[in-house]
Chain A
């Protein structure tokens, strides 16, 4: 058994207004990987590449040892997108019988339990569901397949806190099996705090940071001060009037004087400052 379930090697995707440039990423078995970054950073592109939905210019993508999109890989992968992929007129309860023939490990009872647990009305048509119910339905479908890899693309955007907690609880349940793996793309970085083991920050189609989530607090901090910015290494310096703020490596904190306030960095701080650093923006 290999220690990784998916591997992206030097992925390049070029579009007229967008580019993923040389992304390499490994999803280790048993990990929850949070994929974060600003809009247009390439999160959905990477997920689509893992599912074989797009054709990259170059680079390799393999899932469970198969090329992306291979039926053998997709049979072991549960997918949750921001909207359900089902005909609007299909009834929720009909999705089980429709999809079960394609998944050898489809669990009919589990599907029913998940619909109940997530309060998705099984007698309604898919097109009548709210956005939150649609995401929950997608999650129920994905988990009923008994997947080994769960890929979620912005599942919590626009959802109320209770729904986001439901999704988080189900992911935690899923991860009780140590062979399971999750890739979770999100804008709402607080969702990752209690879920993710690893963090991948994408900016402008490149990986700006990749590492264990607990290491973030030990690696980065926020420095804030007034007046001229110090000469010590700053990442993504931002100015507002006399005030300045920047991300710093915690190992560099000794280089700052007492007039500089150093606080723990949040994931949002890291996204914003690594992003502006990579774009060469100083605000």
Chain B
């Protein structure tokens, strides 16, 4: 039932102009910016911005009511929506990878696989934390009351980056990763992302179970 719900949910928000434009934005970042990992990070940033999109669609089309009366448990709704967002992220990440490799080749360079792995691990960590921050709020109070959360992950990361820079801690932060094995760095990123997604599902399911629709 979860896969059927994921398909239904994806079909409710993925084939929209807004979604296509965000994917085009990811491609444009990869083509226009000379720094190779930027498209991959852009795929994570647009995913965090897109987390709110299906909840907006719920309110416009009364899909929250539809999902409330479909014969599936609310846990399935949470799981299915999270999977549909992960599907979007995977599409954006795949596009970013292809554009990154191709545009670097066109510029006469070569992207190291290790670099791609690290970029994707960082992106996944960001996506996981974004979902952990946003999904419980949207599942609990919906888009209208929670829409500012759409920008929260970007502001949090930008704020932390500014803080690191302002305090000079960014140098130590960078050094902390020097010398670490690739597997550790990638593993930490994947672990943070996975924990974020699991927490998002668990907390959202708990909050959505008692939400009035």
Spell out A's residues near B (CB within 8 Å): 48, 51-55, 69, 71-75, 77, 79, 81, 83-90, 98-99, 101-103, 126
Contacts and interface: CB of A to CB of B under 8 A. Distances in A.
Given A55-B210, A55-B212, A87-B12, A102 B71 contact: yes
B140 to A, nearest CB: 13
Contacts of A102: 1, 4-5, 8, 70-72
A87 B53 CA distance: 13
Chain B binding surface, main DSSP class: helix
Contact of B68 (A69, A75, A88, A103): A69
Contact of A98 (B8, B16, B61, B69): B8
Given A53-B212, A55-B212, A102-B1, A87 B72 contact: no
B207 interface: no
Nearest to B68: A53
Contacts, number: 67
A89 B62 CA distance: 12
Nearest to A79: B69
A70 B111 CA distance: 52
Contact of B69 (A51, A89, A101): A51
Interface in B19-61: 57, 60-61
B71 A103 contact: yes
A170 B63 CA distance: 25
Contacts of A90: 11-12, 61
A69 B5 CA distance: 17
Nearest to A141: B66
Contact of A53 (B57, B61, B213): B213
